[in-house]
Amino acid sequence: MSTISPTGARDLAAVFHPMTQISTLNEQGPMMIVRGEGIHVWDEEGKQYIDGLAGLWCTSLGYANEEIAAVAYEQIKTLSYGHLFLDKSHDTAMRLAEKLKEMVPCDFSKVFFGLSGSDANDTQIKLVRYYNNAIGRPRKKKIIARQKAYHGITFAAASATGLQPFHQGFDLPVAGFLHTDCPHHYRFAEPGESEEAFASRLADSLEALILREDPDTVAAFIAEPIMGAGGVLVPPATYFEKVQQVLRKYDVLFIADEVITGFGRTGQAFATQTFDLAPDTMSLAKSLTSAYMPLSAVMIPEFMYQAIAEISKEWGIFGHGFTYTGHPVSTAVGLKVLEIYERDNVFDNAARLGEQFQAHMARFADHPLVGEVRGRGLIGACELVANKATGQAFDPASAVGKYALARMKANGLICRAIGDSLALCPPLITSQDELGEIFTRYGKSLDETLEWVRREGLLAA
């Protein structure tokens, strides 16, 4: 007999769910969330969960913040909509752009607003093409991303994404998008290869790819400082240092995708600081508004803006933008969120909590199921393996990660299974006691999964 609730059945009859195995959803029904407060959410049956993934890596200030709600309400009463097309603008977009220029590292000149990380990265790709056309380099258009990268799901951003499920059935990636090696030392290093040697090999591989394609045709390299949907993959030591040397050598622009890592997630305000990056452009979203309103931002350097401004004398209108670019309610919320980050020392507090988070994570390194523990600041993952000594992965058909995720849900913890890697990314406002409870539930779920794996005979000899 079906256990799908009446509300769940209504949902299935009307809603096309994204990022979902639809056949399974139709069998099991959706989890209907009805309320959120702090780091907790409640389902329609009244069960409370800790949101250990901050929504989709985004609810940095948690749920039901009354200050943010009040700002949105007042803005709706004052100016509920405004656009930035042609000669129009409004105060909140202007002030938020000024604030982002002030706080974001590197020297950026202008801010282009959108609604999501996907459209930010789509904008990045279009800007790179437009810029190179404007300065007379029409062949320099190819974009290099990495295997297991996630940059969004619009047509161009999904082509940059290096995960097969986001290409399957969509005829993606389209021409002009290339993917270089995934910088996951645990999975892809040669036996005995150090992190530094692995990083050198990957930088050499990137250089070889650029040379094969012809540097005059390669426009940009896009990278997440930490690869989120790829499994919370932290770059090996010296990786970005060596990669950036290659990019500079061949005049390839560096796009930093800080959609997940921006605004305090890695222990500093931006992962660009954490990993000593010097990007040409940057994509921001998610924690820019703590997900209270949709908003993204592309940080644009002066040399790119001036080239676009100059060519406008010949080409006329810059034909890119959205109805909701710089929406006044979203930008007002963004201003309040940035104010709260500064006023309440959220980034400093999150950095201290991140040290405790990583200490909790490290304790699972000895767990019989865990092959690797990885992370930085308040983001991390444990990768489950069939053989701890060799790192042998489970057969994907065993769905061990899926089982572990179900045990976490049963134990009142929402996290994310990326294959057999179990990711955590709690809100930045999580307390020490709440952090302890997250890991109590996480550990209990791992132990329950271990019992099941042993019963099913899934461990490799």
E strand segments, 140-269: 142-146, 177-180, 218-223, 253-257
In this prediction, residue 3 carries a pLDDT of: 85
Task: Tell me the angle at which helices 302-315 and 117-134 cross, rounded to the nearest 10 degrees.
Answer: 60
Backbone phi, psi, residue 255, to 5°: -100, 115
- For 211-239, the pLDDT digits (tens) are 999 999 999 999 999 999 999 999 999 99
Task: Give the HSE-up count for residue 158: Cα atoms under 13 Å, Cβ half-sphere.
Answer: 15
388-404: average pLDDT: 97
Delineate the domains of the chain, giving CATH numbers in brackets.
Answer: 31-64+345-456 (3.90.1150.10), 68-343 (3.40.640.10)
- For 340-364, the pLDDT digits (tens) are 999 999 999 999 999 999 999 999 9
Q: Is 297 helix (H, G, I), strand (E, B) or coil?
A: strand
- For 257-273, the pLDDT digits (tens) are 999 999 999 999 999 99
**Which tokens hold the place of 354?**
């991140």
Q: Is 51 helix (H, G, I), strand (E, B) or coil?
A: strand
Confidence class of residue 334 from pLDDT cuts 50, 70 and 90?
very high
The pTM for the full model equals 0.97
In this prediction, residue 461 carries a pLDDT of: 78
> What is the distance between the alpha carbons of residues 408 and 260, in angstroms, rounded to a whole number?
22
> What is the distance between the alpha carbons of residues 92 and 354, in angstroms, rounded to a whole number?
32
